[in-house]
Structure 1
Amino acid sequence: MFTMSNTSSSIEDFRLSLEKEAYALGFSTFGISRAEISASTQKRLCRWLEEGMHGDMLWMRDRLEHRLDPQNLWPDVRSVIMLGMNYAPTKNPLALADDAGIGRISVYAQGRDYHDTIKKALKHLARWLVQKADCNVKVFVDTAPVMEKSLAVSAGLGWQGKHSNVISRQYGNWLFLGAIYTTLDLEPNRPAKGGCGSCSRCQIACPTNAFPREGVVDARRCISYLTIEYKGIIPQEFRRALGNHIYGCDDCLASCPWNKFAHPETSHPAFWPRAELAAPELRDLLTLKDSDFRQFFSASPIKRIGRDRFIRNCLIAAGNSRQSSLLKQVMPLLEDPAAIVRAMAIWALRQLDIQIFRALAKTAAPQENDVTVQREWQEV
């Protein structure tokens, strides 16, 4: 059994063995951070919340004290083992931007649910650690109040770019993060060196201008937030900007020049895209009923947002496509049980055929019992 009273050479050997085990489990990067968050990061998070940039993600505020200090989440933690798993795509995610009949799904969601893959690997590594050392551990994959990005920077995995995401010299923007909190007092890595310099491609690429300043994302304007986290009717001002994004957005990530150093050939097999999700046809997606949706996305993170929100997103993409052939799939959704679906079906109809929209509005609007949906029948 390894203990921290061992010699410096045995401590180093233990660390190398731990890192080797991590790579054997499919992780691409490894580093160790102290169990602390810098004062500047704490201040930045508090300001972000005070400005309401978290939108409806109330859990960000509800467990703020746990995010600000790992020891508030677990008093016994002394070190954090930070790990990254490569999911670099083989094709440029921006290539489908002008393919109007296609729905664009974020790279990370085209394969299996990363939560399951990473948590399984983290648990294996945690068990190995407990067997080799006298310690306790806890594992986290972005569903807990853990500041993964800040800890990843402290652990040397990369730096936070102007889009706020971690950028790696070896893997560009394409790293899933996982954390192991441990009671072991391990020697930390040096924080990653690097930076974006004068480059601002990620900010320029954002269709909704979601970056009010460097390193800060206003979630309320972010396409990933709007298509995944937001539960309501997408605000009018963002609908055109969504283009054919139907789940998440890679525009800022894919625009980063550091991606030229990424290694798609070594991305984890679990994240290789399913053919049917790499470039899905809107006409097929719009016909999905709830049972079909659950079956189609059974092993995908997309399943978590539910059929109604997903169809809402697809209808916006259909409206933006200007392809009147999609009316066949859009029209039945005008009578969908879900208000957010009916609302976006009305909007899509207005974009695809204004004459049919005007003809139906006269009779359909008075029959609609949802005020917010009824407003969609008003021509603007």
Structure 2
Amino acid sequence: MKNNGKQHVALLFGGNSSEHDVSKRSAHNIYDAMDKDKYDVSLFLMTKEGYFMSHEGSKRVFDGEPEEVVEKDEMAKLDMANPIAPIFNLQHADNVDVFFPIIHGNLGEDGTIQGLLRLLNKPYVGSAVLGSSMSFDKDITKKILTLANVANTRYELLTPRTQERYSYDALAKELGSTLFIKPANQGSSVGIHKAENAEEFNEGLRDAFRYDDKVLVEEAIEGPRELEISILGNRQPIASKIGSIQVPASDEFYTYDNKFVDASAVKFDIPVAISTQLADEITKMALDAYEALGLKGMARIDFLVSKDDKPYVGEVNTLPGFTNISLYPQLFEASGISYTDLIDRLIELAIDEHEYQSKILYDFKPLDPKDQDI
């Protein structure tokens, strides 16, 4: 903490995924909501090439200068032949107290940036390496949830080695005639396809394998409602109220376009009117999933609910969006926690988790009766 009594927070955003621009919008909202009487904020934009701009360059992007123009100036300042150049700016971030990564998708949610911040031995907002990487991989997520008895949709996993074993007819016989095809490690509905015949199935697979070498083929839930819940906390997490998403009738699922390109036809119901029984079941499932995956700080968990009110965990998002239409902050706003208070709590949780983890031993030390439990 600086001499002025403020905490120095480094906001990390951008990245090389399809959510690069979404991350920039999330970061700008977080920056605007942060109480500047409490925090000094440094900005670090990760370019699509994978290096971090300086605070000055990142601020120029925040202030509206085209990223491509700023990037040329910033690249000239860095010796990109130096293997540590991409993280040079982070290593020399002056007296950072807490890092706040909001890099959606690849490199941000898959445990990569969390590993770097652990090496820097700094507190950071959100889940650690393992929780992040497990939750980002839809296949691993579903395996962990199944072991924890948290209901999720049935699926088969296809890889380049095994895909020839699976035809549309064989999978339709097992999972139903309507199938959803998803890359295992992608976000924002990128590479997702609905297939109701062999031609759609083969075309969907061809596209999905462009984004990952693991592809899930999932059953469809009849007449599903899409419900969302936000989680906040470390060892004693709390859940928000529940919201719903209604996509236009012309869209078969919540696509990339109606998430980020044109959301004008998407309707949000926050909080949604559902039975107490269903709300309690979803809340318990969400908290059970959060614990099973070892998550910390925050997550938004998406549910599909069938016509007979049976909920299934759809996806777990460890770095959810903070844009103007993002559900994570909206759900907590509806639950009585303002956007600014939410940011404060996330920073406090980051410091709390770092202090907690610092007490865990990694080398042998004889037990001293005077030692206190963590």
TM over 0.5: no
TM-score after normalising by structure 2: 0.23
Higher helix share: 1
- Work out which of the two has the higher radius of gyration on C-alpha atoms and give 1 or 2: 1
Query: Whose relative contact order is higher, 1 or 2, with alpha carbons under 8 Å and at least 6 apart?
Result: 1
TM-score after normalising by structure 1: 0.22
Higher strand share: 2
